[in-house]
Chain A
């Protein structure tokens, strides 16, 4: 009896190991799937790195062949890259929503008609999501207007009051993408602040360090400025430098920004940046790859993930630094 029990246990363990072995030997779920993915800015920049990391790790985990494209945030380049991706006939393509619904509609329709799963990240394409959601068109990114509101509320919590002067630098010109800045500016205005809305030019959009003299000059020209609102990760990163150049001390102006680029950490630690919206860029890279596999393989519809869950401030940044240095947060 005892021997037979031992024998059975042995068989069970062997079966378990055999099962594990089979599981380990099985192909990853995304094997055979090729995905083109627009990463946004330039390789490794503060607004792009964590997205790259997330996408790369998801692709490695799922066995997806990932092809990364970088556009320096230029809408025309995003459109051209999408066309080139479609020509390569991959299983899926992830686009950035910046060019807008109208620019992408016919291209996305043609791609979906060819059986390619298209999904969206970073800036929403609401009407496309309604039309092609059942074919896997999802969205992984911040609910932009809500994200802007969240940032503004974090700024207001730091002591801003009615009548204070504020400036919001952003990409107001891009209808959907600009919702983030709009939410921020609207919320500050509703709280009674006087808000100046300024457009970030393309040169600064691609290389924010070019904007430092302009920001510094604006800050010096407005001695009563109490708050700066930003929804551009790389511009948030250079704002400490602009404030120093303008002769401001940490905390003198409340700065609400976005993302956790290494330069933003320094800003948070020094107190120049008061709060920053953490839009979980890693997930903006990871989730579209999962979406791609789920939709291409299991015909699942597009999912929406709002990655704008909260803000980070000088008191909470400490525990995240290692992860940020690794390009994860």
Chain B
């Protein structure tokens, strides 16, 4: 196969640069901490801790792909988590508590969409304001208290959402496989299809390219944006319920740690901050990179104090890698400075 053919096939693989970064990082940790990363348990652990981050990041992939931003989702994790926890614990409402938690997230997301699409407030400001509002509401309503969900694992809600279906297995790592990994996989696949195969996904990326052109070609931009923020609210509520059930606790400040990590996962994954380009596969691998760094560094022997530094470094490397892998013009100019590799990439020559 000609060299250019291989390159074009590789360039057709969604999220390839970030998959390469992920593979390199994983290989590094397998080398530096083999007792941890060559065993299955750390991976089953990630499958129980990463689903909330993945759900949030997938929702953000749509939002950022449309050229918008949502800063409200940590507040939805607190607010929907509170709605779910109080109904589940105080009123013993089980699945109704789940429905109410999801509905509260959808409602907050819908309101965000209306503020952005109909009122015309820039999404950064609108969702920043609603983040403060709903976080405050969660604190006021809960009185700042945590709710411990004692005996939660006895309920069908817990079993179905975050249970361990193979708990009786003799294989230790299989016994730890969590249900939330299955639900998250289904949601990710469904939303990947929506983004890449459905009209809604096409509209999102079109809007990300240009609101005006989207309107000209007949896309109802306002409606699509409201759908977008509502979807984000729904996914944040899913994350809230998973988190609350997995921890068997509602913490009054839960969700606050996800803001920057979720945004970083999306951008590391290759979704453009300017909109118009989004990749679900890239985002999922971005989440795994973000989630893996601390465990990898600590197992390697570095103190946890290094985590942020290395996260920042990998963030930069990934973005640079993406820029040069995905944009032949930029790559061509870069290599031309060194006077060689002029035939590398899709574009053959340098002027």
Residues of A within 8 A of B (CB): 36, 39, 42-44, 65, 67-70, 72, 74-77, 79-81, 83-84, 86-89, 99-103, 106, 172-175, 199, 201-203, 205
- Interface stretch (choices B140-148, B273-281, B332-340): B140-148
- Interface stretch (choices B202-210, B264-272, B299-307, B317-325): B299-307
Contact partner, A173, options B33, B146, B298, B307, Cβ 8 Å: B146
Contact partner, A67, options B146, B249, B301, Cβ 8 Å: B301
Contacts of A74 in B (CB 8 A): 253, 256-257
Contacts A172-B144, A203-B256 given; indicate if A76 touches B251 (C-beta within 8 A): yes
Given contacts A83-B49, A99-B249, A173-B143, 11 further A-B contacts (CB under 8 A): A70-B305, A74-B253, A76-B243, A79-B247, A84-B294, A86-B45, A100-B146, A102-B149, A173-B144, A173-B146, A173-B253
In this complex, which of A69, A84, A102, A103 has the most chain B Cβ atoms within 10 angstroms of its Cβ? A84
B249/A88 in contact, CB under 8 A: no
The interface residues of chain B, by DSSP majority, are classed as: helix
Q: For the complex, give the distance between the alpha carbons of A84 and B45 in Å.
A: 6
B36/A103 in contact, CB under 8 A: no
A68/B304 in contact, CB under 8 A: yes
Tell me, rounded to whole Å, the shortest Cβ–Cβ distance linking B137 to chain A.
Answer: 14
Tell me, rounded to whole Å, the shortest Cβ–Cβ distance linking B195 to chain A.
Answer: 28
Closest 10 CB pairs of A and B: A43-B305, A202-B253, A102-B148, A87-B41, A87-B45, A199-B144, A87-B42, A173-B144, A70-B304, A103-B249
Contacts A74-B256, A87-B44, A202-B253 given; indicate if A103 touches B247 (C-beta within 8 A): yes
Contacts of A106 in B (CB 8 A): 153, 248
Contacts A36-B298, A70-B305, A106-B153 given; indicate if A83 touches B48 (C-beta within 8 A): yes
A67/B299 in contact, CB under 8 A: yes
Q: For the complex, give the distance between the alpha carbons of A39 and B252 in Å.
A: 22
Q: For the complex, give the distance between the alpha carbons of A205 and B257 in Å.
A: 12
Residue of A nearest to B256 (CB): A202
Contacts A76-B257, A202-B253 given; indicate if A100 touches B148 (C-beta within 8 A): yes
B298/A69 in contact, CB under 8 A: yes
In B6-65, which residues have CB < 8 Å from any A CB?
Answer: 33, 35-36, 39, 41-42, 44-45, 48-49
In this complex, which of B48, B149, B243, B251 has the most chain A Cβ atoms within 10 angstroms of its Cβ? B251
A44/B298 in contact, CB under 8 A: no
B150 close to A (CB within 8 Å): yes
Contacts of A44 in B (CB 8 A): 305
Residues of B within 8 A of A (CB): 33, 35-36, 39, 41-42, 44-45, 48-49, 139, 142-146, 148-150, 153, 243, 247-249, 251-254, 256-257, 294-295, 298-299, 301, 303-305, 307
Contacts of B49 in A (CB 8 A): 80, 83-84
Tell me, rounded to whole Å, the shortest Cβ–Cβ distance linking A87 to chain B.
Answer: 4
Q: For the complex, give the distance between the alpha carbons of A132 and B48 in Å.
A: 24
Q: For the complex, give the distance between the alpha carbons of A44 and B307 in Å.
A: 14
Contacts of B44 in A (CB 8 A): 87
Tell me, rounded to whole Å, the shortest Cβ–Cβ distance linking B90 to chain A.
Answer: 15
Contacts of A80 in B (CB 8 A): 49
Q: For the complex, give the distance between the alpha carbons of A74 and B252 in Å.
A: 11
A88/B42 in contact, CB under 8 A: yes
Q: For the complex, give the distance between the alpha carbons of A89 and B41 in Å.
A: 9
Q: For the complex, give the distance between the alpha carbons of A68 and B44 in Å.
A: 22
B295/A84 in contact, CB under 8 A: yes
Contacts of B248 in A (CB 8 A): 102-103, 106
Tell me, rounded to whole Å, the shortest Cβ–Cβ distance linking B26 to chain A.
Answer: 15
Contacts of B307 in A (CB 8 A): 70
Residue of B nearest to A110 (CB): B176
Tell me, rounded to whole Å, the shortest Cβ–Cβ distance linking B67 to chain A.
Answer: 28
Q: For the complex, give the distance between the alpha carbons of A75 and B257 in Å.
A: 10
